[in-house]
Amino acid sequence: MNSTVADHLTRMAAGEVDRGLMEVGGLASGNAIGVPYMIARGTGGGPCLWVNATVHGDESQASIVATEFFRAVSAHPLRGDVIVTPVANPLAFDQRRKHSPFDGTDLDQSFPGRSDFLGTQRLAHRLFSELSPLADTVVNIHTMGPFLDACNYAVYKLHPAAGDERELLSLIALFDLRVACRMDVSGPGELPGRVEGALDYQMLELGKRAFMLEAGAGGRYDRPAVEKAVRGLLRFAAETGTAAKTDAPGDRPASICRATRRTHVTSAEGGFFRALAEPGDVVPAGRPLGEIRNVYGDKVEAVSLPTPALVIGIRRDPIVHSGDRVGFVATEWADIDLTAPSGETS
């Protein structure tokens, strides 16, 4: 095995910033498959923060957030170490595809990985075995798919080994998000797959704080979404002790909107979709999220829900077929008081 990230950190002096490439396999052409990483060595005593991005290759804005965060956080002295992996799924990223073009496996459902099977699982194994022992806190950055517009939001999971839910929500609230979505891992997820194979859930299993940050949508450079995500990561690094604190105590958010049920909204008809709602809107029951017109210009569908919905993402690509996703919404949500005593969030 080539040199590890732990070896690299050991060779660095306090305050030093560096970068490297974690080799995770090889191509038939002789080129290496490598995951780039950036590291900043703290002065000692503080926790290590791992920021991972672009587990899905079509979520390109996640990489921009991770890179800009590292540039900002490493410009100042750190108490603890910072490790950033801006492109966790390089083969999918280079092809602008969600999954690796070679095995079609979802990296987001492959942790802690396997060293002896599919390429994506080997990648997950190397990434997890290298960095999970080093990291104390993890933010796994995703975005919506490139065919949607979205607001910044978070997704988190509960695990028996994890700490108090309110504590995790208090950290998530530092990102000034529209909503934090609690994902149930006890049954089928919103889409088919192994939800418990997500990086953040596997880190929770190790007793470490972790969640997913959804920074807008992929396939674009949404400057406000990027800036908001970077500000949140800087606040998170300070609050968890990796960086020096900059906020006054009064700057801590007192509440957060938590969603406990969400769903994808799909089209029944094919044609051209026009959104009638924006990310972040609350749409009353029966009011259309958008409408579909066929190739003749006839309105063939008004897409709505029988219950109120908080819009997290809405389709921007107008071309839709029957069964395509046109929206992603919360159907059950409430404001959570973060000043309440521990254990009163459920």
Average pLDDT over residues 248-277: 91
**Could you tell me the pTM of the whole model?**
0.94
Is the same domain home to 265 and 308? yes
Q: For residue 219, is it left (φ>0), alpha (ψ between -120 and 50) or beta?
A: left
Average pLDDT over residues 36-47: 95
In the structure, what pLDDT confidence band is assigned to residue 187 with cuts at 50, 70 and 90?
low
Predicted pLDDT of residue 345: 60
d(Cα 258, Cα 330) in Å, to the nearest integer? 9
Predicted pLDDT of residue 188: 59
Of 253, 276, 295, the residue that ends a domain is 253
Is the same domain home to 39 and 154? yes
Could you tell me if residue 265 is inside a domain? yes
Residues spanned by the domain of 307: 261-337
Q: Give the CA distances from residue 1 to residues 5, 25, 107, in Å, rounded to whole numbers and listed in that order.
A: 12, 10, 21
Is the same domain home to 189 and 280? no
Is the same domain home to 123 and 57? yes
**CATH number of the domain that 278 lies in?**
2.40.50.100
Could you tell me if residue 55 is inside a domain? yes
Is the same domain home to 30 and 73? yes
Strands 49-53 and 82-85: parallel
* Better pLDDT: 52 or 246: 52
Helix and strand totals (H; E) in the chain: 7, 17
- Nearest to residue 144, comparing CAs of 267, 232, 262, 60? 60
Could you tell me if residue 342 is inside a domain? no
Could you tell me if residue 343 is inside a domain? no
Place of tokens 């919905």: 309
Could you tell me if residue 79 is inside a domain? yes
* Better pLDDT: 100 or 245: 100
Phi–psi pair at 236, nearest 5 degrees? -60, -45
Phi–psi pair at 152, nearest 5 degrees? -70, 135
Is the same domain home to 122 and 203? yes
In the structure, what pLDDT confidence band is assigned to residue 13 with cuts at 50, 70 and 90?
very high
pLDDT in tens, 212-256: 999 999 999 999 999 999 999 999 999 999 998 866 555 778 999
Average pLDDT over residues 142-150: 95
Could you tell me if residue 63 is inside a domain? yes
Tell me which DSSP letter residue 108 carries.
Answer: G
279-303: buried (b, 16+ CB within 10 Å) or exposed (e) per residue? bebebeeeebbbbbbeeeeeeebeb
Strands of 158-277, DSSP E: 180-183, 209-217, 255-266, 271-275
Strands 325-337 and 309-315: antiparallel
Could you tell me if residue 190 is inside a domain? yes
| Cβ–Cβ < 8 Å for 169, 243 | no
In the structure, what pLDDT confidence band is assigned to residue 160 with cuts at 50, 70 and 90?
confident
Predicted pLDDT of residue 146: 93
CA 45 to centroid of chain Cα atoms: 27
Predicted pLDDT of residue 251: 72
Average pLDDT over residues 146-166: 89
Q: Give the CA distances from residue 277 to residues 104, 224, 296, in Å, rounded to whole numbers and listed in that order.
A: 33, 19, 24
Predicted pLDDT of residue 42: 96
Task: List CB contacts of 7: < 8 A, sequence separation 6 or more.
Answer: none
Checking if the pLDDT of 289 tops 70, the result is yes
Query: What proportion of the chain, given as a percentage, has pLDDT over 70?
Result: 93
Average pLDDT over residues 6-26: 95
- Nearest to residue 6, comparing CAs of 34, 32, 41, 35? 41
In the structure, what pLDDT confidence band is assigned to residue 2 with cuts at 50, 70 and 90?
low
In the structure, what pLDDT confidence band is assigned to residue 174 with cuts at 50, 70 and 90?
very high
* Better pLDDT: 184 or 21: 21
Q: Tell me how many domains the chain contains.
A: 2
Mean pLDDT over each residue of the chain, to the nearest integer:
93
Sequence-separated contacts (24+) of 4-9 with Cβ below 8 Å: 4/130, 5/37, 5/39, 5/83, 5/130, 5/131, 5/134, 6/130, 6/133, 6/134, 8/39, 9/39, 9/41, 9/81, 9/134
d(Cα 205, Cα 198) in Å, to the nearest integer? 11
**CATH number of the domain that 190 lies in?**
3.40.630.10
